[in-house]
A = this chain, B = another copy of it.
Amino acid sequence: MSAGRAAERRGFTPGERGLEQSFGRATVILNALAASGEAGMRFVDIVRATGLSQTTVHRLVAALAEHGFIEQAATDSRYFLGMQLAGWAFAATNRFGVAEVAHPIMHHLSEVTGDTTYLSLRSGDTAMCVARVEGSYPIHVRIVTPGDRHVLGLGAGSLALLAFIRDEAEIERLLNLPEQRAGRARAGVDEALIRQWLVASRRDGYSIVQDLVPGTSAIGLPIHGPTGDPVAALGLAAISTRLQAPRLDEVLTEMRAAAAQIEARLRPMPKAHLVR
Contacts and interface: CB of A to CB of B under 8 A. Distances in A.
Given A2-B67, A23-B64, A38-B94, A85 B85 contact: yes
Given A3-B67, A37-B94, A80-B92, A19 B86 contact: no
Interface string A59-91: 110111111110100110000111111111111
Given A22-B22, A71-B123, A275-B45, A91 B81 contact: yes
Q: Could you say which of A26, A71, A92 has the most chain B C-beta atoms within 10 Å of its C-beta?
A: A92
A126 to B, nearest CB: 8
Interface string A114-143: 000000010110101010001000000000
Interface in A163-208: none
A256 interface: no
Contacts of A10: none
Given A19-B60, A71-B124, A96 B38 contact: yes
Contact of A34 (B35, B42, B81, B91): B91
Given A62-B3, A83-B121, A274-B45, A24 B67 contact: yes
A93 interface: yes
Contact of A63 (B19, B81, B95, B146): B19
Given A38-B97, A86-B128, A273-B45, A33 B91 contact: yes
* Copies per complex of this chain: 2
Interface of A: 1-4, 16, 18-20, 22-24, 26-27, 30-31, 33-42, 45, 48-49, 59-60, 62-69, 71, 74-75, 80-97, 104, 107, 121, 123-124, 126, 128, 130, 134, 145-149, 227, 229, 270, 272-276
Nearest to A130: B86
18 contacts: A3-B66, A16-B66, A19-B22, A20-B62, A30-B88, A31-B88, A34-B88, A35-B91, A38-B95, A38-B270, A41-B274, A42-B273, A81-B88, A83-B130, A85-B85, A89-B89, A90-B146, A91-B147
B272 A69 contact: no
A134 B95 contact: no
A87 B145 CA distance: 10
